[in-house]
Structure 1
Amino acid sequence: MKIVGISGSTVGTKTRTAMNYVETNLKEKYLEVEFELIDLAEYEMIFSDGRNYWEYEGDTKYVSEKIMAADALIIGTPTFQASIPASLKNVFDLLPVNAFRDKVVSMVGTAGTPKHFLMLEQQLKPILAYMKATIVPTYVFIEEKDFYRNEIINEDVIFRIERLVEDTIMFNDVFEEMRKKKDEEYGF
């Protein structure tokens, strides 16, 4: 199974810190999973201009192709102006409308205050649903107070990250079985 993690901002450290916890958990507990973390701050992405994702070059093509090749995604995003950052939205704009069909997608959100916890529900989930993702219903929301010096200090948040990783893998396994059963119905 291939899982791609996305740290969806080009600025700040909290989302990347949270995604580092995701990566550590995956690599320690799920050795059979191939995981790659894509931190958008480390790539030079150009803005979508309507071309097919494979027609781009450089980092833009690399990131798009890695996402398209994944079985599952764990998307980490900060909250900017009560929504997702432009860098993450651009990634979605680069991909085809059916990009997440047959992919399990889970979410980790960070924000300065608890007032933004619904951003994932009201902003990110509708985009993922439109792009045909199988969305893990629960997500992890992390507030500023849960971080200290680039570490998560809230044990409950760490537990919820572990559970999110477990749920992502479990959902992917279940949907893989469902896809196999559906394919067997065709008899080719």
Structure 2
Amino acid sequence: MKLVGVSGALAGEKTSLAVHDVLIAAKRRDPSITTELIDLREYQVEFSVGQPIALYNDDTMNVVKKIMSADFLVFGTPIYQASISGALKNLLDLLPENAFKYKVTGIIATGWTNKHFLVPEYQLKPVLSYFKGLIPTGNVYIHNNSFNEESDEIINQEVSERIERLAEEMIYLQRGINNR
């Protein structure tokens, strides 16, 4: 199985590192899983204007192909102005309607206030459901205080445990889909 993580942040390290931690946790659970991190900071994904994907630049086409080739995915987003990042929403706008059919789509989000912990639940979850993604129950919200200020690594043990549980649930659900 191939697990692809998407970091929807164009600035900072926290979201990318959190997504990467999910990939590492999944690999620890099942070393046969292949993982790939798509960090949107490293790509020039064009603004979605509703045209066929073949008419977009190479970066845009490559990111969409990587997402479509994944067996399951984890999406990371910072919370800006009580919403998911525009970069992630733009990327999702480029995908076909059944992009995540028979795929588990986990969510991990980072933010400055605990007041935003439901943003992924009310904004990202419906979009992933629209694409026919199966969303785990154990999605993770990480307050910025859970990161080391200098290294941006997660220092909150409870958050690390929730990441481990998310990876475990995603693998369990995807295996169930594959074995149906």
Q: Shorter chain as normaliser: what TM range?
A: over 0.9
Q: Percent same amino acid among aligned pairs?
A: 46
TM-score (norm 1): 0.90
2:175 to 173, 179, 183: 173
**Counterpart Cα distance in 1 of 2:126 and 2:35:** 25
Highest CA radius of gyration, 1 or 2? 1
2:23 is matched with 23
What is the total number of aligned residue pairs between the two structures? 178
**Aligned match of 1:81:** 81
Verify the 8 A CA contact 2:10 2:40 in the aligned structure 1.
yes
Offset at residue 27 of structure 1 (A): 3.2
Counterpart position of 2:122: 122
Shift of 1:54: 4.0
Give the distance between the partners of 1:9 and 1:90, measured in 2 at CA.
Answer: 12
Structure 2, gaps ≥5 residues long? none
What's the offset of the Cα at 1:28? Answer: 3.4
Task: Answer yes or no: is the 8 Å Cα contact 2:53–2:94 preserved in 1.
Answer: yes
Matching of residue 153 in structure 1 with residue 155 in structure 2? yes
Q: Give the structure-2-normalised TM-score.
A: 0.94
- The answer (yes or no) to whether the contact 1:23–1:35 under 8 Å persists in 2 is yes
Query: 1 CA distance for matches of 2:142 and 2:127?
Result: 21
User: Are 1:136 and 2:97 an aligned pair?
Assistant: no
Name the structure 2 match of 1:69. 69
Q: Supply the distance in 1 between the matched residues of 2:19 and 2:104 (Cα, whole angstroms).
A: 17
Following superposition, the deviation at residue 95 of structure 1 comes to 0.6
Structure 1 residue matching 2:16: 3-state secondary structure: helix
CA distance in 2, matches of 1:57, 1:17: 27
SS at match of 1:66: helix
For 2:54 and 2:102, the matched residues in 1 are separated by 19
Alignment of 1:17-56 (within 5 A): 17-56=17-56
CA distances 1:10-46 after superposition (whole Å, capped 9, x unpaired) = 1122111212212322333321111100000111110
Q: Secondary structure at the match of 1:51?
A: coil
Distance (whole Å) between structure 2 residues aligned to residue 23 and residue 164 of structure 1: 10
Compute the RMSD of aligned alpha carbons: 1.2
Q: CA deviation at 1:157?
A: 0.6
1:54/1:65 contact within 8 Å kept:
no
Q: Secondary structure at the match of 2:142?
A: strand
Secondary structure of 2:179's aligned partner: helix
Deviations 1:106-130 (A, max 9, x none): 1111110100000011100011111
Letter in 2 for 1:163: R
Q: In structure 1, what is the Cα distance between the partners aligned to 2:83 and 2:145? A: 20
